[in-house]
Amino acid sequence: PMLSRIANSDDFDPLRLERNVDLHFVPPGNSIPRDSDVIIIPGTKSTLADLRFLKEQGWDHDIIAHARAGGAVVGLCGGYQILGRKIRDLHGVEGPPEEAEGLGLLEVETDMLTSKTVRSLNGECLANRQPVIGYEIHMGDTAGKDTHRRYIRTANGEDGAINMERNVVGCYVHGLFWSDAFRAAWLNQLQQGTASDLHYRDTVEIALDNLAEDLENALDIDALLNDAKFS
């Protein structure tokens, strides 16, 4: 679903480039397709506001029905918080102090904190034992019964939660799909036989090289450097 305050949408870039993946951002006013293999709730700049927005669109019913039918659901950062039972912002981090009921697909609850966690990470996915890279940037602490089944392990500790049926997962990791090995294993788990031959970092390097070449052709770099020298 296309949340109104979606953040870190580059989390989806590797999936967008996968030749065997048909990625759709569901716009407001549309239902989430019933034949989806997986529903991913992205990060958001304001979890409580986007939780309200999601419910206004009726997406909560779509997501819950999908999960109860055994469909896969993934929540990233704010999306992870939305999957839980409750979100409390008693310090007014995102606005006036409030608390709200989440989707209840994970037995966890989140408390918004006044301090922000920002760090890069390397680790592994505990569900498929594949390496992951990425970063965290959030202002919440999530705890509850389903955090006894963690999704990610890094040098900083373990993160995320998995429901008892193991079809709903959430974590605070942005960049989760950047890891080729993790992404390939995850896609194959979703649909047996799904192959991935994408080397995501290579595509990023090629794109940056092409951009640098275009800028060099379009701009007089020597003149710009000379102007900067005497400005």
Active-site residue list: 77, 174
Angle at 220 between CA 219 and CA 225, to 5 degrees: 115
> How many helices (H) and strands (E) are present in the chain, helices listed first?
7, 12
- For 76, the enclosing helix (H) or strand (E) is strand 72-76
Query: Angle 180-190/200-218 helices, nearest 10 degrees?
Result: 120
Structure tokens belonging to residue 7: 């953040």
- Rounded CA separation 125/86 (Å): 25
> What torsion do the CA atoms of 125, 107, 78, 111 make, to the nearest 10 degrees?
-120
Helix (H) or strand (E) holding 168: strand 168-171
Amino acid at 225: L
Collapsing DSSP to helix, strand or coil, 215 comes out as helix
Strands 131-143 and 109-125: antiparallel
